[in-house]
Amino acid sequence: MITLNSTHDANLTSWVTSANGHSDFPIQNLPFASFRIHSNEAFRGGVAIGDSIVDLAALASTSLLSGLAQQAAEAAAKPQLNEFMQMGQPAWSALRAALSQLLSSDNSERLPAHCLQLQSQAHYQMPCHVGDYTDFYTSIHHATAVGSLFRPDNPLLPNYKWVPIGYHGRASSLDVSGQAFHRPSGQTKAPDASTPSFGPCKRLDYELEMGIFIGQGNEFGHPIDIDDSHQHVFGMCLFNDWSARDIQAWEYQPLGPFLSKSFASTISPWIVTMEALAPYRSQYLRPESDPTPLPYLCSDNNDEFGSMDIELECFIQTETMRAAGEAPQRLSRSNFRHSYWTIAQMVAHHSVNGCNLRAGDLLGSGTQSGPEAEEAGSLLELSKGGKQAITLANGEQRSFLADGDTITFRGHCERQGFVRIGFGQVESTVLPAKS
């Protein structure tokens, strides 16, 4: 497992003054993204520090790093992070430690000015090439709430407490925060109709999720042991897995989601590494009445540190709110610790059949809903399947999303004795369906 070290020290401050007390990107975080400042220049890897970005291409061209840290910086400086992610935990830690030392207030040798860029001037792309994307279904509260809408007498299917449920999704329509997409069209069937009809989705929804990026892959045919997952998971981001609920209801039986999910998914630009998240791990708890998972999904380490305390929030800004200059309104808040299955269990299950994961592969956590109604991670739950519209502060109502709505997720970790770190935000806007 990843252990705490000097990079997690709560007393550590940076000579980049905006990092000290920054709500998301203090020196204890140091997340990775792919960015550029001008449209005529190449994207390259960067690390967030306060309101600035360490330009890894510029840093790699100096003599400030050496050994494995220098090799890691050269790989991370490329337009996408896959090569760096494939290098594995020793390389990730070496670069993190070197950056922490270079950026520390105690270090008299500061980065040259050209090694720092302002986030306010940056443009982002997908931080890595995602070859494959798998969406899990790890929130038992979401699964139960949604199941109760369609199967009131049997909301939770019998395999849920035994198997981390997931499906293979579409990677090509993943994009970074700022994505705007047209309302999808497809087949739907009204309950009282004898035949389906075609047209724009009427029940468009968001899903409050976390994205989990695979780092070093495994060989084909060689499962990843649950206690070795830390060697294969690079980091996490915020993830909005948009859903067309009416299209989904008609198409999902018997094989599951297809066009209802493949039209768009949006991630935050910054990947927070698992090493940065180490202080916020917590005990993995299951009700005593629930079955014990099969041995390949169990370990003492997973029981003690498998959960992650990540506070999540969802906001909406309608077109009317935007025109009036009104700030986004929070719809709900939840926490990743409510997840019924851990990251280690997801990785172990995904590979147990010999499936080979590769650097840059993305796992979606599934909608992260909590036990209380106000902790729901989707409008489907908040509106009770569309039956109870939500009234916003300006009087507008929403059962599902309207054209022009912008959805924003934010997330952060806090724990006594450690510094708060965050994920930035992911936002995306719904455009009208194409005619």
| Predicted model pTM | 0.97
Exposed e or buried b for every residue in 408-427, given b needs 16+ CB within 10 A? bbbbbbeeeebbbbbbbbbb
Q: List CB contacts of 40: < 8 A, sequence separation 6 or more.
A: none
For 335-392, the pLDDT digits (tens) are 999 999 999 999 999 999 999 999 999 999 999 999 999 999 999 999 999 999 999 9
Q: Among this protein's residues, is 142 annotated catalytic?
A: yes
Confidence of residue 254 (pLDDT cuts 50, 70, 90): confident
Exposed e or buried b for every residue in 150-179, given b needs 16+ CB within 10 A? eeeeeeeeeebbeebbbbebbbebbbbbeb
pLDDT reading at 149 higher than 90:
no
Q: DSSP 3-state assignment of 201? A: coil
DSSP 161: T
Confidence of residue 150 (pLDDT cuts 50, 70, 90): confident
Predicted local confidence at residue 152, as pLDDT = 83
288 among the known binding-site residues? no
265 among the known binding-site residues? yes
Tokens of residue 130, six digits? 């995602």
CA 177/CA 167 separation, integer angstroms = 23
pLDDT reading at 154 higher than 90:
no
137 among the known binding-site residues? yes
78 among the known binding-site residues? no
Q: How many CA atoms lie within 13 A of 424 on its CB side?
A: 30
151 among the known binding-site residues? yes
160 among the known binding-site residues? no
Q: DSSP 3-state assignment of 217? A: coil
| Mean pLDDT over the full length of the chain | 96
pLDDT reading at 8 higher than 90:
yes
248 among the known binding-site residues? yes
Residues of the chain with CATH 2.30.30.230: 6-125
For 292-348, the pLDDT digits (tens) are 999 999 999 999 999 999 999 999 999 999 999 999 999 999 999 999 999 999 999
CATH number among 3.30.420.40, 3.90.550.10, 3.90.850.10, 3.90.110.10, domain 133-431:
3.90.850.10
What architecture is domain 6-125? Roll (2.30)
Predicted local confidence at residue 16, as pLDDT = 97
Confidence of residue 96 (pLDDT cuts 50, 70, 90): very high
Residues of the chain with CATH 3.90.850.10: 133-431
pLDDT reading at 151 higher than 90:
no
Choice among 142, 230, 338, 350 that is catalytic: 142
170 among the known binding-site residues? no
pLDDT reading at 160 higher than 90:
yes
For 186-235, the pLDDT digits (tens) are 999 998 999 999 999 999 999 999 999 999 999 999 999 999 999 999 99
